[in-house]
């Protein structure tokens, strides 16, 4: 049951992160002052669009992984989906911290706002606040991903044995190499 809860939490955290990025996107793209648009504002818009697309893909993978840990349990499917989610999240983190949240980028944004009118200053403050909210949610989402990997590893590490009756006797099938060695070579 803990496995299902962890994957449900990952989907929730991915949705929250996506929602935070959508909020920043609205500020960066839709609420941008209409006059004297600097290239820096376009750079922020491009970065936030990238984040949004990758988060949508990551969220789809998280939801699929959540389905895989339901009934019937598909550990391998969950692992594949979690890996895809992790890869998208890594892209998001890299782009976020280099394209939006780095000290240099935020400093450039502040400098640009001081050189323009009060509309740009208000816009810059809103962008910075949105980036801060995303940063906090990024941490929560990363933690949820780590928790899923740990829970999945613990589940995969348990010995899974199935017994099938045949007309000759019983056949024992195991998923661990140690059990296979025991069956083939005897107990060491």
Looking at residue 99, what is its pLDDT?
Answer: 86
Q: For 42-51, how does the pLDDT look when each residue is reduced to its tens digit (9 = 90+)?
A: 999 999 999 9
Average pLDDT in the 53-82 region? 95
Looking at residue 45, what is its pLDDT?
Answer: 92
Residues 6+ apart with CB under 8 A from 89: 14, 54, 58, 141, 142, 145
Q: For 15-35, how does the pLDDT look when each residue is reduced to its tens digit (9 = 90+)?
A: 999 999 999 999 999 888 887
Q: For 124-173, how does the pLDDT look when each residue is reduced to its tens digit (9 = 90+)?
A: 999 999 999 999 999 999 999 999 999 998 887 774 555 555 566 555 55
Q: Tell me the pTM.
A: 0.78
Looking at residue 156, what is its pLDDT?
Answer: 76
* CATH architecture of the domain formed by 2-157: Up-down Bundle (1.20)
Q: Mean pLDDT in the chain?
A: 86
Q: For 89-100, how does the pLDDT look when each residue is reduced to its tens digit (9 = 90+)?
A: 999 999 999 989
Domain boundaries, the chain: 2-157, 161-188
pLDDT tier for residue 114 given thresholds of 50, 70 and 90 = confident
The answer on pLDDT for 181 being more than 90 is: no
């Amino acid at each position: 049951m803990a496995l299902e809860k962890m994957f449900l939490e990952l989907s929730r955290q991915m949705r929250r992160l996506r929602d935070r990025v959508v909020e920043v996107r609205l500020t960066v793209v839709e609420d941008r002052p209409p006059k004297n648009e600097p290239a820096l504002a376009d750079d922020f818009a491009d970065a936030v669009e990238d984040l949004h697309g990758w988060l949508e893909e990551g969220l789809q993978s998280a939801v699929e992984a959540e389905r895989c840990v339901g009934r019937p349990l598909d550990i391998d499917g969950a692992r594949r989906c979690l890996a895809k989610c992790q890869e998208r999240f890594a892209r998001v983190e890299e782009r976020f911290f280099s394209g939006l949240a780095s000290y240099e980028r935020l400093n450039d944004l502040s400098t640009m706002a001081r050189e323009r009118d009060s509309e740009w200053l208000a816009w810059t403050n809103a962008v910075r606040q949105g980036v801060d909210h995303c940063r906090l949610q990024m941490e929560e989402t990363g933690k949820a991903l780590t928790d899923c990997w740990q829970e999945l590893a613990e589940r995969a590490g348990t010995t899974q044995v199935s017994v099938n009756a045949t007309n000759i006797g019983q056949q024992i099938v195991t998923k661990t190499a140690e059990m296979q060695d025991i069956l083939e070579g005897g107990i060491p």
